[in-house]
Chains A and B, each alone.
Chain A
Amino acid sequence: DIQMTQSPSSLSASVGDRVTITCRASQSISSYLNWYQKKPGKAPKLLIYAASSLQSGVPSRFSGSGSATDFTLTISSLQPEDFATYYCQQSYSIPLTFGGGTKVEIK
């Protein structure tokens, strides 16, 4: 199974900050990497697919980069509605696996 490791597990940031979350795969997954936002009591929301493609309707302050084993999600200017938990997910092989999540909290 491919293990997905996110860092940090949590971070505190202020509105307007640039935030970067990293995700590392235990083996190469090419660009089969997706990012989701999860808020308590809400369904997860797809933000980025194929490592760097912005899902329709997602604000352009979200961006993704990386390939093979190392990936990054960047929020260029953190907004109040962005405080949530973010998950990476590999779709390269079964079983599909998620990272442990990164909780973005208000400083």
Chain B
Amino acid sequence: EVQLVESGGGLVKPGGSLRLSCAASGFTFSSYSMNWVRQAPGKGLEWVSSISSSSSYIYYADSVKGRFTISRDNAKNALYLQMNSLRAEDTAVYYCARGAPGDQQAFDIWGQGTMVTVSS
């Protein structure tokens, strides 16, 4: 079964750090680009970051650039999001999502999400 499972969310104070992980199974992880997408409470979906299959290409939303770092370990079938200098507006459910094959870059497989709460 193709599956993505996020972990690492929790409550953190403003200015703090958190590292999210996404464990992939059921597909050849190293062949796919991967993404992080978030949804703040009561808000819509927001793309956060993307990484190509070999980590050659990395992109960030302006709202997280310079504070968040996406990475992956293809040997461990794992995707990561290091989040530093967290702000209240980073409070959201964070989803990892697989990039579909081809150039469309749709997100075809999603994890169940992990909640990040930034509050003092």
Contacts and interface: CB of A to CB of B under 8 A. Distances in A.
A44 B110 contact: yes
B47 interface: yes
B95 A96 contact: no
Interface residues on B, range: 20 to 34
A43 B98 CA distance: 12
B45 A89 contact: yes
Interface string B92-119: 0001010010001111101111000000
A87 B110 contact: no
Given A43-B95, A43-B112, A49 B46 contact: no
A36 interface: yes
Interface residues of A, number: 23
Contact of A34 (B35, B62, B107): B107
B26 interface: no
Interface of A: 32, 34, 36, 38, 42-46, 49-50, 55, 87, 89, 91, 94-101
Sorted from nearest, which 8 A-B pairs have the closest CB atoms?
A43-B110, A91-B105, A49-B106, A96-B47, A34-B106, A98-B45, A101-B44, A94-B59
